[in-house]
Amino acid sequence: MADQVFKNFINGEWVDSSSGQTYENRNPADTSDLVGVFQKSNAADVKAAVDAAAEAYKKWRLVPAPKRGEILFRVADRLFKEKETFSREMTREMGKVVAETRGDVQEAIDMTFYMAGEGRRLFGMTTPSELKNKFCMTVRQPLGVCGFITPWNFPMAIPSWKTMPALICGNTVVIKPATDTPKSVVNMVRVMHEEGIPAGVVNMVTGAGSTVGQPLIEDDRVRVISFTGSTEVGRRVSETCAPKFKHSCLEMGGKNVQIVLDDADVDLAVDGALWGAFGTTGQRCTATSRLICHKNVYGEVIKKLGERASRLKVGNGLDETVQMGPCVNEDQLNTVLKYVDIGKNQDGARLITGGARLTGGAYSKGYFVSPAIFADVTPQMRIWREEIFGPVLSVGSFSTLDEAIELANDTVYGLSASIYTRDINKAYIAMRDVYTGIFYVNAPTIGAETHLPFGGTKETGNGHREAATAALDVFSEWKSIYVDFSGGLQRAQIDNQ
């Protein structure tokens, strides 16, 4: 049992919570499989972690950025070498199929290599002064201690999106992993420690949002909070940060749409809808939850979707032949079943396949549901408007491209969207007019790459972006520097009239 107990990581050491309490994390595909026992931490643990991060910041910010990058390069190489082990452990703790968890770990590898390279860039600019004998430039400066509250659906990728750019900019970090998926963050932090990240630079505290996340947000020494999760919780994070002018980067909900025009390759569009809707069991902020088809191909798409979805193999994600794993926990399963009931009864949509809990045999100890597809869904229905975060796809129809774009934008969210068409002109119109942070042409609504900004509009985010160089703007402040070597007083615009 001892090798299954995992501790907090504070100031370079693995330590028990001061609460003396722990909690179990079990495999959502087989609850008899104990993934590990983790610390049920409290505000005192958070304070100790922030203490360590604040002290370590004094030296870490002065380490040359290329040297910080060399450490991250070693971390990326280690993550690559342990990819298969980390992937299989991730499938055990959150359920998605092992092919997808390999992709999750690969994102962390990609992000770490990418940010390691930024250690030799972190570009500012030089620009001419309007006055003689004066030099002007801009540089980035770190903020200090950064607090991260990360989700369970991408338990290594998303922590890496936050951690690596923060570190390369010279900040120190405290991570609160999702309670359902702490082991993947333990794995990432262990590698960082073993590859030379100094004590106190990276800290991890496990436990609930109320006892760990809230104290982390409220600590005045934490200068930026990066949160990924629901819009409801993100709004509370923003409200807590605002009075103290604390920076916050919020990545929240989505109700993403795939548009299928009547000139589209229908089979390709069906491939995209199935992957977008049921990859990660629909538990992605970018998941395809709305599909709208031109009326001329609507019937064909519905028929092929139903046939294909009903044949998807659901089961334990460690089985390489399985195509969709379980919901992450019982609450998430019950949410999915609730919305299936709403779709059938309150909304009156037509359920063409799935939506039932799978029980017995290999399903008896897990949180499994068959992939659900509703047809004849209209914008007034709750399953059209509300984020479900599960394997439920709502399908509707349209007559013109303008109508499709209006339907696509008919949501409080604005994360991802896609269009399937062979008409390049219509593709560009949709690219311009669909108001989202991410847009795909002839591809599903999932599949972001680490070297492009990730994030959304409206109630999906608060204007910041993760990944790519855009992440550097979250974890650094610009400083404008003026060097006057004229030997006299120059009064800017006063002396330049």
Q: Has 251 been annotated as catalytic?
A: yes
pLDDT in tens, the chain (497 residues): 567 999 999 999 999 999 999 999 999 999 999 999 999 999 999 999 999 999 999 999 999 999 999 999 999 999 999 999 999 999 999 999 999 999 999 999 999 999 999 999 999 999 999 999 999 999 999 999 999 999 999 999 999 999 999 999 999 999 999 999 999 999 999 999 999 999 999 999 999 999 999 999 999 999 999 999 999 999 999 999 999 999 999 999 999 999 999 999 999 999 999 999 999 999 999 999 999 999 999 999 999 999 999 999 999 999 999 999 999 999 999 999 999 999 999 999 999 999 999 999 999 999 999 999 999 999 999 999 999 999 999 999 999 999 999 999 999 999 999 999 999 999 999 999 999 999 999 999 999 999 999 999 999 999 999 999 999 999 999 999 999 999 999 998 888 77
C-beta separation of 136 from 482 below 8 A: yes
* 285 classed as catalytic: yes
Q: Which of 374, 390, 433, 432 is nearest to 255 (CA)?
A: 390
**Amino acid letter for position 466:** E
| Sign, CA torsion 453/153/355/232 | negative
The token pair at 369 is: 């549901």
Cα separation, 473 vs 391, whole angstroms: 34
Dist CA 108 CA 381 (whole Å): 37
State residue 492's pLDDT score: 87
- The closest of 156, 20, 316 to 5, measured between CA atoms, is 20
Domains of the chain: 2-252+461-480 (3.40.605.10), 256-441 (3.40.309.10)
Q: Cα-Cα-Cα-Cα dihedral of 489, 491, 495, 497, to 10°? A: 170
Q: Round to whole Å and give the CA distance between 101 and 105.
A: 6
Query: Cβ(98)–Cβ(318) under 8 Å?
Result: yes
Q: What is the bridge-based pairing of β-strands 457-458 and 413-414?
A: antiparallel
Q: How far is it, in rounded angstroms, from Cα 167 to Cα 406? A: 41
For the entire predicted model, the pTM comes to 0.96
Position 3 scores a pLDDT of: 73
Residues 6+ apart with CB under 8 A from 135: 126, 129, 482, 483, 485
Of residues 89, 100, 118, 251, which has the active-site annotation?
A: 251
Integer CA distances (angstroms), 316 to 86, 154, 310, in order: 17, 17, 17
pLDDT at 497: 72
> What pLDDT is recorded for position 22?
97
pLDDT, residue 1, reads 57
Catalytic member of 169, 285, 293, 327: 285
Residue pair 160/112 in contact by the 8 Å Cβ criterion: yes
